Amino acid sequence: MNAQFTFHPDRCVGCAACVMACINEKRIDIDEQLPFRMLLSNEYVDGDRVDVTYFVQGCMHCRDHPCADVCPKQCFTYDRGTGVVLLDNSECIGCRRCANACSFNAIQFNRSQRALKCDGCIRNLKRDRLPLCVLACQRQALTIDEKNDIVKDGLAELNKEISVYEHRQ
């Protein structure tokens, strides 16, 4: 399986199953780090009409992976078999260039200022099983393995939602 993640904001209902699935799969202690999928939302009001858009933030394993390009220590590698962008933080110096280059706020730092990010549940992908957040999604809002144009549209929309959210904060 190929881990090109796509997110379709119009399909997400904000149930947070992906967030909890990530916590469960990666046994994340939320006092130490955030889950690799985070649920955020925007509200749009038009007269009486209120639209809530949810979006799930996390590594999309971009094909052009800007995080990898800016890392001075070559911590990032691209797995050709699955398309996953992998991070080995043992050489990380905490310069945060990768985080700044990422459009999806997908990179966080642990207490010792080393970068952390999603590994696409690569062990699952290699066994032809879905990453847990994708498996958890009831409505195929979070998908992998789609054609490139859908990937681009989905990501453009997600990017828009994230920038609205950031502006509001």
Q: How far is the CB of 105 from other proteins (least distance, A)?
A: 15
What is the separation of C-alpha 82 from the centre of its chain, rounded to a whole number of angstroms? 16
Q: State which residue, 85 or 121, has the beta carbon closest to other proteins.
A: 121
Interface with other proteins includes 164 (CB under 8 A)?
no
Place of tokens 């009486």: 48
Q: State which residue, 14 or 66, has the beta carbon closest to other proteins.
A: 14
- Residue 150: CB atoms within 10 A of its CB come to 13
Q: How far is the CB of 40 from other proteins (least distance, A)?
A: 11
Q: Kindly state the tokens that stand for 30.
A: 């939320």
Tell me which residues in 106-145 interact with other proteins (CB under 8 A): 132, 135-136, 138-139
Q: Is 7 within 8 Å of 118 (Cβ atoms)?
A: no
Tell me which residues in 1-60 interact with other proteins (CB under 8 A): 13-17, 19-21, 23-25, 27-31, 34-35, 38-39, 43, 45, 48, 50, 52, 54
Tell me which residues in 77-96 interact with other proteins (CB under 8 A): none
Instruction: Please state, in angstroms and rounded to a whole number, the distance separating the CA atoms of residues 11 and 55.
Output: 9
- Whose CA is closest to 5, among 108, 124, 155? 155
Q: Kindly state the tokens that stand for 87.
A: 């991070």
Query: Total residues contacting other proteins (rule CB under 8 A)?
Result: 31
Residue type at position 63: R
Instruction: Please state, in angstroms and rounded to a whole number, the distance separating the CA atoms of residues 94 and 58.
Output: 19
Instruction: Please give the residue ranges that form the binding site for other proteins (CB under 8 A).
Output: 13-17, 19-21, 23-25, 27-31, 34-35, 38-39, 43, 45, 48, 50, 52, 54, 132, 135-136, 138-139
